[in-house]
Amino acid sequence: MRSEFHVIQDINQPELIRISKSKKDLRLHVRVFTFNDGKHEIGLIPSLSLSSYGNDRESMVLMLQETLDDYLDKLLELKIELIEADLSAHGWKKQQFHSKNFDGPYIDKAGILREFELPENTVMEEQMITA
């Protein structure tokens, strides 16, 4: 699966994953946080526990896209029960009336700063992407 990031203008949209196992298709809207740790540009999709880094923003984005593609490819190889278990382990919840949809977990910017041991004044960009 070769997905391409598209930035969504409305940053307040909820995170969402839609799975169509019969079509071997997965669509998602997830938050991406980017920042510089002093040495590298870091890209992070915390709701899927995915990250990448690069010497510059362009290389980081390419690595993050490859990391996301690999994760999604492996996810679609699994049985639906295992897909649901994996997403649940990351805090995703299956929607009650739309069984192919999953709502994303709450993400706390302060928690990201703590996890990476970054100063509070670290400039962090937040974007919503679709793939």
pLDDT digits (tens, 9 = 90+) for 51-100: 999 999 999 999 999 999 999 989 989 998 999 999 999 999 999 888 78
Structure-model confidence comparison of residues 108 and 29, the more confident one:
29
- Is 30 within a domain? yes
pLDDT score of 1 more than 70 = no
The structural domain count of the chain equals 1
pTM of structure = 0.88
From the number of C-beta atoms within 10 Å of its C-beta (0-12, 13-18, 19+), residue 24 rates as exposed
- Is 1 within a domain? no
User: What is the spatial distance between Cα 130 and Cα 16, in angstroms, rounded to a whole number?
Assistant: 9
Mean pLDDT, range 107-119, rounded to an integer: 84
- Is 94 within a domain? yes
- Is 98 within a domain? yes
- Is 60 within a domain? yes
pLDDT value at residue 3: 62
Range of the domain at 32: 6-130
